A and B are shown apart, each in its own frame.
Chain A
Amino acid sequence: MSVLALHELTVRRDNRAVLDTVSLSVTAGELVGVVGANGAGKTTLLRAALGLARPASGRAELSGHDLCRMTQMERARLAAYLPQDRYVGWNMSAWRIAGLGAFDRPPAEARAVAFTALARVGLDGLEDRGVLQMSGGERARVLLARLLVTAAPLLIADEPTAGLDPDAQLLAMDLFREEAARGAAVVLTLHDLSLAARYCDRLVVLAAGRIIADAPPLKALSAEVLAEAFGLTGYMESTPDGPSLIVRRRIVQ
């Protein structure tokens, strides 16, 4: 059964379809990357999948349940979200921020899972540091830890590797793979196509609000798709360390 299913979902803004009759299904254990140029509708797709963007038509289902008929708590038990902006309003300690992913568990348990998640993202020893005293990359990792703490069946993250150094990017993607291995369905938006192709089971390519490819990475990122979605001529090359994007040039209209 699909953990996430979108059925011909359309989202309009100012009479313009920012997401146009999109259908998508993600099953447990899958790591799916959503890629596309800026403004293609990636964030809108994630938000619509979580009920944060109101669809003009179509519907979204989480674990077979209609999203519109769910309570907020039911939705939270099935899906967790890491937004694109790394906003933290007040200077709370790293473990308290990470622990917000388990606010409904007893305090001692929430603290323990927060410490474990912070260790997983490489921040052990910084649990008591204020997040506003951390670097942007460290703060991003704290928020990633908060997502991991939820242990939800569906994890959705909007550009989780943005602003991270190369090592932290690989660490984050390794963690998403681990989450998929424990049975979670993981959906990420990514801009690094090489990283996306290397880690994801499937890539969904968006262009102008429509899905133009939904296939395993090397198939999804064909020369035609790269041209249509990104305005690039290039190709994906298989290397011993995984697929890599070779860009030739921009297509000037």
Chain B
Amino acid sequence: MRSLTLNLLLAIGVVALGLAGLLLGETRLTFDQFSEALSNPGSGPYQVVFDIRLPRTVAALVVGAALGLAGAVMQGLLRNPLADPGVLGVSGGAGLGAALAISLGLAIFPGAIELAALGAALAVGLVLTWLAARFREPEILILFGVALSAFLGAMTSLVFNFSPSPVALSEVFSWLLGSVANRDWDDITRQLPAMGAGVVLCAYAARGLVMLTLGEEAASMSGLPMTRLRAAAVAGASLLTGASVAMAGIVGFVGLAAPHLVRAVTWGGPGRILLPSALAGAVLLGGADIAARIIPTDNELKLGVMTALVGAPLFALIAWRAARNWRG
């Protein structure tokens, strides 16, 4: 499929899911109620559509796009189809920051959990950016990332271990499962600067990702400032992931699956799949959020659970197809 056609179809999908996100939810609204929502600000239907559903839908689409983009950048940088935004430990760092903030009782301050999550993600991102500038071999970066993820996971478990109250424990656990329910515009706008910076850095790094297709040595001889571009890719993906975790908790699979979904219908270098991966990520998470809303359960399904439940079989199917292609 041509890039333009794919981007257009995915953009239509994003818009359609955005509209569906306004129309669908736990509370069923009639046509008249929708008319009232559009014509009467302050009315009940208006609050449901514009104060609850709209920010929630935007949060799902924005987080999905950020994770899809971060996943495509990570796979391009590490030249590894198994890479995703969590592989280097950024999600783990953000999770630890949030867990610490909740267990220390900082949740009473608005935005404190998100700030802790973003701050911790940025700290991990800084370490990774330094490592990316220091070591050019992707394998070394992956090994450091695995070690960092394991360490941060253990620290989060330690927080669980020493959590003073079962309530805080449950709150941490719930947060880590990922959700965009009850997000308001403040929750979104607080993360937009970090996400914007992440997008700019990823766009800047795109040329380097394409050149890395030839391998480290050929890329370093190309004339591009590869050390700077590699660092920009890691910093950009870290910012996007950190801000996403701060907005919606830990949502797995989107960053891994979105670039693969794109590659299943088109092919090309890492530069060409950045935009469609972001759009595919938005479609995946937008769809998962709507599914979580309308599936009738006592407790609403968490977004992280939903993406793993739907994403894992889908991903296995893609891997099955890819394996057949690899075997020829």
Contacts from A to B (Cβ < 8 Å): 47, 50, 52, 72-73, 75-77, 79-83, 85, 87-93, 96-97, 100, 103-104, 130, 143, 146
Contact = CB atoms under 8 A, between A and B. Distances in A.
Contacts of B268: 90-93, 96
Contact of B218 (A77, A81, A91, A93): A81
B10 interface: no
A72 B269 contact: no
A59 to B, nearest CB: 19
A232 B226 CA distance: 43
Interface residues of B, number: 22
A77 B224 CA distance: 11
A81 B221 CA distance: 7
Closest 6 CB pairs of A and B: A76-B223, A87-B215, A89-B79, A73-B223, A81-B221, A89-B213
B214 A88 contact: yes
Nearest to A83: B217
Nearest to A156: B221
A76 B221 contact: yes
B211 interface: yes
Contact of A72 (B76, B217, B226): B226
B68 interface: no
B222 A96 contact: no
Contacts of B207: 103
Interface string B128-149: 0000000000000000000000
Contacts of B222: 76, 100, 103
Given A97-B213, A97-B214, A143-B214, 11 more contacts: A72-B224, A73-B223, A75-B223, A81-B221, A82-B218, A85-B215, A89-B270, A92-B267, A92-B268, A96-B269, A103-B224
Q: Is the interface of A mostly helix, strand, loop or mixed?
A: mixed
Contact of B211 (A52, A77, A103, A130): A103
B212 interface: yes
A104 B223 contact: yes
B135 to A, nearest CB: 15
A83 B218 contact: yes
A72 B220 CA distance: 8
Contacts of A103: 207, 210-211, 222, 224
Nearest to A77: B223
A80 B219 CA distance: 11
B225 interface: yes
Nearest to B78: A89
A130 B213 contact: no
Interface in B34-79: 76, 79
30 contacts: A52-B221, A72-B220, A72-B223, A72-B226, A73-B225, A75-B223, A77-B223, A79-B221, A80-B221, A81-B218, A81-B221, A82-B218, A83-B215, A83-B217, A87-B214, A88-B213, A89-B213, A90-B267, A91-B267, A92-B213, A92-B269, A93-B268, A100-B210, A100-B211, A100-B213, A100-B214, A103-B210, A103-B222, A130-B267, A146-B214
Q: Which of B212, B217, B223, B267 has the most CB of A within 10 A?
A: B223
A154 to B, nearest CB: 11
A90 B215 contact: no
A192 to B, nearest CB: 23
Contacts of B218: 81-83, 87
A50 B76 CA distance: 25
A91 B266 CA distance: 10
Contacts of B269: 90, 92, 96
Interface in B217-249: 217-218, 220-226
A149 to B, nearest CB: 11
Contacts of A90: 76, 79, 213, 267-270
A81 B217 contact: yes
Q: Which of A76, A89, A130 has the most CB of B within 10 A?
A: A89
Contacts of A104: 223
A73 B220 CA distance: 10
Interface in B254-275: 267-270
Nearest to A104: B223
A72 B267 contact: no
A92 B212 CA distance: 12
B118 to A, nearest CB: 31
Contacts of B213: 88-90, 92, 97, 100
A26 to B, nearest CB: 17
Contacts of A50: 221
